[in-house]
């Protein structure tokens, strides 16, 4: 779930380190999804899954709907940015508060079509601060410290792609 401030993140947000110093992930980060679904639940200020036009088209196709029909049924608007509605906004009960509308148990119902935002977890620009990573991400996500080691280059490519994706509708 994304940061509700929906800030435009730039390259400075990618590597919040002092000039001449390596980012904390310079030697890579070990991460492999464990399928816990924790990344699909709200925590703190992270409470929205924002969608740009690419995500909207992908999800509409998944549901075999037009984009306007998809937006009307599943999305809200926050300051001109579309986001996936909270289940309670649709009158759906029985889903824990803060869970994504598309989370069923601990699995994503739209996994193949999930938004870019979801595809890039936990490598979000706002997560790549060493304190944030240590205090919020590593303690929250069971996939940190398991599986493949993602290199600095891989991480920075994901971060750059996400920043470009987030800016796609702003041009």
In this model, does residue 43 exceed pLDDT 90?
A: no
Owner of token pair 């595809």: 119
d(C-alpha 60, C-alpha 51), whole Å: 12
Instruction: Give the CA distances from residue 86 to residues 1, 76, 82, 95, 158, in Å, rounded to whole numbers and listed in that order.
Output: 11, 9, 12, 10, 27
Q: How confident is the model at residue 97 (pLDDT cuts 50, 70, 90)?
A: confident
The predicted model gives 43-58 an average pLDDT of: 83
pLDDT of 67-94, one tens digit each?
999 999 999 998 888 999 988 888 888 8
CB 116 within 8 A of CB 7: no
91 found inside a domain:
yes
14 found inside a domain:
no
Question: Which pLDDT does position 94 carry in this prediction?
Answer: 81
18 found inside a domain:
no
Domain limits for position 126? 2-7+26-170
15 found inside a domain:
no
The predicted model gives 129-137 an average pLDDT of: 94
CB 127 within 8 A of CB 14: no
d(C-alpha 106, C-alpha 41), whole Å: 10
d(C-alpha 33, C-alpha 128), whole Å: 17
38 found inside a domain:
yes
63 found inside a domain:
yes
Domain count across the chain: 1
Q: Which of 124, 135, 131 is nearest to 162 (CA)?
A: 124
Question: Which pLDDT does position 8 carry in this prediction?
Answer: 37
13 found inside a domain:
no
Owner of token pair 């929250």: 140
21 found inside a domain:
no
Q: How confident is the model at residue 1 (pLDDT cuts 50, 70, 90)?
A: low
Three-class secondary structure of residue 121 per DSSP: coil
In this model, does residue 149 exceed pLDDT 90?
A: yes
């Amino acid at each position: 779930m994304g940061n509700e401030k929906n800030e435009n993140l730039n390259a400075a947000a990618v590597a919040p380190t002092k000039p001449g110093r390596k980012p904390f992930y310079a030697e890579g980060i070990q991460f492999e999804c464990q399928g816990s679904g924790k990344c699909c639940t709200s925590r703190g200020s992270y409470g929205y899954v924002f969608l740009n036009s690419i995500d909207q088209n992908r999800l509409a196709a998944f549901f075999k709907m037009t984009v306007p029909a998809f937006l009307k049924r599943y999305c809200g608007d926050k300051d001109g940015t579309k986001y996936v509605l909270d289940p309670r906004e649709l009158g759906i009960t029985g889903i824990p508060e803060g869970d994504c509308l598309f989370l069923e148990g601990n699995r994503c119902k739209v996994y193949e079509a999930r938004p870019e935002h979801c595809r890039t977890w936990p490598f979000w620009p706002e997560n790549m601060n060493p304190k944030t990573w240590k205090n919020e991400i590593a303690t929250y996500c069971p996939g940190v410290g398991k599986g493949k080691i993602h290199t600095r280059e891989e991480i920075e490519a994901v971060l750059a792609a996400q920043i470009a994706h987030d800016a796609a509708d702003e041009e």
